[in-house]
Structure 1
Amino acid sequence: MAIETAAGAMNPVIAIALVGGLGVGSQWLAWRMRMPAIVLMLLAGVIIGPVLGVFDPARDIGPLMGPIIAIAVAIILFEGGLTLNFHQLRDAAIGVRRLVFVGAPVGWVASALTLHYAAGLSWSSSWVFGGILIVTGPTVIAPLLRTARLSRRPAQLLQWEAIVNDPLGALAAVLAFEVVLVLNTATTVGTAVLALIWGIGAAIILGLAGGFGLAWAFRNGHVPEYMKVSILFALLLGIFGISDAILHESGLLAVTVMGIVIANANLPSYAELRRFKEHATILLVSGVFILLAANLDFAQLGQLSGRAVVFVLLIILVARPLTVFISLIGTGLPWQEKVLVAFTGPRGVVLVAVAGLFAERLISLGFEDANLIAPLAFVLVATTVVLHGFTLKPMARWLGLAGAGNPGVIIVGGSDWTTAFAEALIKADVPVLMTDPNFGHLRAARSAGITTYTGDILSEGAEQRLELVSYDKLLAATDNDAYNTLVATDLAPEFGRENVFQVARVKNDGARHTLPATLGGRPFGHAVTHDEWNSLIRQGWTFRVTRLTEEFTLQEWREKRPRSHLVGRILPNGDFKLLHEDEEIRGVPDTRLIALRPPETTGSTVQPPASA
């Protein structure tokens, strides 16, 4: 198959593959370099698009580009709606309501005034574009929150505002455009109002019907497990298409409502559905950002003047903070959280896509200044993505609203050996949270000053009460192998499978009692079981932290302590890592090794268990 077709256009299949490869590749590279993924995706799109001219979405994908972006945004918003569980909102509920019901109209007015007086747009263009600027970018917020690791409440405020206000922004633009249409054409007020009410009502009804209908079908076993995701996708696309056909941009509202209904339906298969949607969303966010950047037209940007810079600065430094501070008056939120939310307003793909659509409609009505809407939208998106991509995490740390600089470990299971291990980690400045459903199992940990939580780590109470942003590793270490496997399997997607460990399982002779190797976490230690770890502690073994130097190398440490169990290491930069069975490590100077060492009594006859 040829890579290029007539007139130098790239084969559409190759073009879509290129977009997917660059998008996912940018996310992986950002993970390796610990950079904001959004920034690298924009950079990759600009390089292959307007800079090198290798890929031109309008030329290589053609009329498919619009539907691709529309469907991708619909799925992204639906997945966002799936994260909006009302039971998890709790202490952020007041702030979210204010940001939606007060912040949206205040932001609309502030953005319209900025567009008119700073960017020089007409009132008609300003009110239409200002409605779209209500949107704070759900396609951007999710990757930023994943990187920044914010505290629960400010993260919820930003996430809920972005997802709920996204369809509201599109509908605000629809409302403003209908007013412009009435004032500049023969369309009557009654016709425009009826169309608007009918479209919004239909979107809400379709979203509710789709959500409740799907929940009923799933709960009552009318859909086989292997078809649930397929039916979900088909219904999602159908509702989006029907609603959008009734009123442009109302499909975004319909799929958001549908996602929220399903999120709050307490479905037994909800977690699996959401994880699949999250994976799909990562692919879609990557793709749409590559398309957005590659479709940039430098000629359009050339139309902008210095007023565009003033417009961007006023939106970021005046309009956004003013909107948030007015909205959150009387909510009782700490000033740190208000400041963080006020100065975090990234815009994303939805803004550019919807702005381009309404720009074309305004131009068709004779508003020539609408030519500036698309380039202004892109400049704002690019500026806010880069700005917040690099500043959100350090600003959150400065305000005390992010996890510690060196994330720690959650130890599930209170016992003699886990308490001793936790004490060693804390002395090495590694944060530790120890949890156990049994209050008595945590008595020694509490006496040692270790942070504890009595309860099931998988419970809704733990999710609501614990601030997990300070921890990025987990060790399942109770005396129940089945429970350890359940915890490790359930939380692996949250922490990353490479960061979830499990104490060695008790060996069973029969296959009937052996759990599948595909379940659970990575093996911790040296095939030593929970009871064997405890036995070693009672015999006098201790966890010790040893620092390597140029003179005292890893090889020398191994030679002097041949019977020690190496279980973790801390790099010179403070990065802590649990070690799985037989893992090889590099002995970099200033690395600290954490190991369980035997008693140092001369001639000690204490021996490790046979399995060690």
Structure 2
Amino acid sequence: MDNLLFELMLILFLGVSSQWVAWRYRLPAIVVMSVVGLLAGPIFGVINPEENLAVVYGPLISIAVGIILFEGSLGLDFREIRGIGKPIYRIVTIGALLAWLLGSLAAHYVAGLPLAVSFVIGAILIVTGPTVILPLLRQAKLKPLPSAILKWEGIIVDPLGALLAVFAFVFIQFITLDDVTFITILFFIGGSILAILIGIGFGLGVGKLFENGLVPEYLKSPFVLSSVVTAFTISDTIMHETGLLAVTVMGITLANMRISSIGDLRHFKENISILLISVIFIMLTASLTRETLIAMFEWPIISFVLLMLFVIRPLTIFISTIGTGLPFKVKLLTGWIAPRGIVALTVSGYFAGVLMLEGYEEAEMLTSLTFGLVFATVIAHGFSIGWLSKKLNLSTESTPGILMVGSSKFTANFAKVLDDYEIPVMIIDSSWSRLSHARRLDVPNKHGEVLSEQTDYQLDMTPYEYMISMTEFDSYNTLISTTFKPEFGREFLYQLPIQMDNGDRLDEVSNHISGNILFSEQANWTVLNEKINQGFVFKKTKVTEEYTFEMLKKDLHHESILLAIIKGSGKISFFSPNREPKIESNDIVISLSKPNNRQG
């Protein structure tokens, strides 16, 4: 018992630590988790989750994959694919079938597997899945078109791959075994349709309960979580692997019901999914044997992996998207990026055992074959997606951008200074007249309400690492900070200080719901714009070893306000009473100063 408790603790610690290391050193998270799992499992033998967790190992992974797939499908709002639905439809239908057929033939003629086993593994290996695609998309910051295509393909094809594997296995039995009849195939089709109906039913049921206020706020997340597990279990009990289809359909149904609380649920599920992905990747890789790892380096497996990477994947994308109008650069990126992950490993592990029981001894090779492709794609695509997307101009600017909410004289002039330093900046405001300041200075701007769902789909927020709220309304600034905290993180959310003598009297507002204070406690909206009216100017001063930051502060006029620092790398950080930025030689300090101030 003590050993099991220690192993569970270690799995959790290694999973979350891997995510943190990946974030801290800007590495692909799935690569770090895979390496850590291999070191802890087959290489050093510290843990063996499959052996120690015994009967709960399989169900635990299956349910976790179902929750991850549901969380991913919650983001599949059909409004996202307006104008790009045709290539996505082609990729998840024609592309998936081509990948299945070509992958099966490669498994037979290159890896040397029997044709029956090849068609099962060919189906399994068409999946990419949210467990590997979503972390890569977060890392690479792709533009909306390639990002949407990869995300939709990963989430939709995930359950299809598992179902195709089941279908291939049933069809093999139908051909080779006398006791498997045409009725068995009809049962498979009926089970798949039933899983879709179960997913729609649970999605509509949960949605209607929420819309009618029949579930209190504090129970919504637990209620949805238990509903997902229930839908998955019912479908999977009726027919194996249909649970993935049910939860995917359930998520898509909820995502397109336009329920106001779905956004909060999505944030909760995303946090749960990150934890589950971390834990399960460690469990799967740590459960592999040394024999499986050694077998990965045999020439038939290496040849198969290379063929899947450089021939079959690009071929299926280019063929399936003929006549869709998809740009060549997007086809090139999509044709390269196709990492396999948890679903491929778990489903192949299941079928390896089933096929061996049916007398296919070569099926023992399935785990090595699958993990060889998983590890190769995770490494190759994890490290190349950022570089390739930049080369193809399919990623956003590498310099972290700033989304400014609220247009005013100060905001427009400040944005102009940052724009001159080639820092991506965008001012958004619901008032066309207030945006005149930004238009006059030719600063990028957007007319719209940042809290509106419509604006969310029209404005790509990927390039912007910071969001700063600079309207004259303290309550609105705080609401924005609260709303966007899950997307940006509190460390990247800033708002103007509360106006004590004017406005909403929010001087006692909790700092847990507000963003970081911009500039200083006195630099509220009124003060900043009055200084602009009085002729204050933005000064840019380079800090050197000869002219230190301490010397700069002494030279500043007492009414001047320190605003931001532009680092030598091009990154920006803001002055705030909450935190003191680190200033080094060659950094540029931006301040709002009197024009006759001798400093500058």
**Residue in 1 aligned with 2:111?**
119
Distance 1:182 1:582, change over 3 A: closer
In the TM superposition, what is the alpha-carbon distance from 1:496 to its structure 2 partner? 1.6
| Counterpart Cα distance in 1 of 2:295 and 2:20 | 35
In the TM superposition, what is the alpha-carbon distance from 1:508 to its structure 2 partner? 5.8
1:351-390 deviations in whole A, cap 9, x for unaligned? 0100011111111111111111111101110110111111
| Counterpart Cα distance in 1 of 2:582 and 2:263 | 38
Which of 572, 582, 594 is 1:576 aligned to?
572
Q: What value does the CA root-mean-square deviation take over the aligned residues?
A: 1.7
In the TM superposition, what is the alpha-carbon distance from 1:189 to its structure 2 partner? 2.8
| Counterpart Cα distance in 2 of 1:51 and 1:79 | 33
**Residue in 2 aligned with 1:443?**
436
Distance 1:529 1:113, change over 3 A: same
Runs of 4+ in 1 over 6 A off after TM superposition: 509-513
Moved more, 408-417 or 184-193: 184-193
1:537-567 deviations in whole A, cap 9, x for unaligned? 1111112221111211111111211533112
**Residue in 2 aligned with 1:533?**
528
Which AA in structure 2 matches 1:206? I
In the TM superposition, what is the alpha-carbon distance from 1:84 to its structure 2 partner? 0.4
| Counterpart Cα distance in 2 of 1:301 and 1:178 | 30
**Residue in 2 aligned with 1:422?**
415
**Residue in 2 aligned with 1:322?**
315
1:498-528 deviations in whole A, cap 9, x for unaligned? 1010011211699788544332211101122
2:485 is equivalent to residue 489 of structure 1 = no
% same residue: 39
SS in 2 for 1:569: strand
Paired residues of 1:402 and 1:469 also in contact (CA < 8 A): no
1:581-606 deviations in whole A, cap 9, x for unaligned? 25323331111112111231689xxx
**Residue in 1 aligned with 2:277?**
285
Which of 287, 290, 303 is 1:298 aligned to?
290
| Counterpart Cα distance in 2 of 1:517 and 1:171 | 49
Q: Output aligned runs, 1:237-256, within 5 Å.
A: 237-256=229-248
Distance 1:511 1:408, change over 3 A: closer
2:328 is equivalent to residue 339 of structure 1 = no
Which of 380, 405, 408 is 1:412 aligned to?
405
Paired residues of 1:91 and 1:153 also in contact (CA < 8 A): no
**Residue in 1 aligned with 2:14?**
22
**Residue in 2 aligned with 1:136?**
128
**Residue in 1 aligned with 2:517?**
523
**Residue in 1 aligned with 2:538?**
543
1:317-359 deviations in whole A, cap 9, x for unaligned? 1111111111111111111111111100000010010001111
**Residue in 2 aligned with 1:607?**
none
Count of matched residue positions in the alignment of Structure 1 and Structure 2: 595
Q: Output aligned runs, 1:60-459, within 5 Å.
A: 60-304=52-296, 305-459=298-452
| Counterpart Cα distance in 1 of 2:367 and 2:250 | 30
Q: TM-score, normalised by structure 1?
A: 0.94
Which AA in structure 1 matches 2:500? K
Paired residues of 2:129 and 2:157 also in contact (CA < 8 A): no
| Counterpart Cα distance in 1 of 2:531 and 2:236 | 66
SS in 1 for 2:494: strand
SS in 2 for 1:410: strand
Moved more, 113-122 or 155-164: 113-122
Paired residues of 2:73 and 2:251 also in contact (CA < 8 A): yes
SS in 1 for 2:84: helix
Distance 1:77 1:601, change over 3 A: closer
Which AA in structure 1 matches 2:370? A
Which AA in structure 2 matches 1:87? R
SS in 2 for 1:435: strand
Paired residues of 1:129 and 1:173 also in contact (CA < 8 A): yes
Which AA in structure 2 matches 1:521? G
Which of 18, 40, 43 is 1:51 aligned to?
43
Paired residues of 1:15 and 1:61 also in contact (CA < 8 A): no
Q: TM-score, normalised by structure 2?
A: 0.96
Structure 2: segments with no counterpart, 5+ residues: none
SS in 1 for 2:51: helix
| Counterpart Cα distance in 2 of 1:479 and 1:68 | 51
In the TM superposition, what is the alpha-carbon distance from 1:295 to its structure 2 partner? 1.0
1:431-474 deviations in whole A, cap 9, x for unaligned? 11011111111112112121110111222332222232221111
Which of 546, 558, 562 is 1:566 aligned to?
562
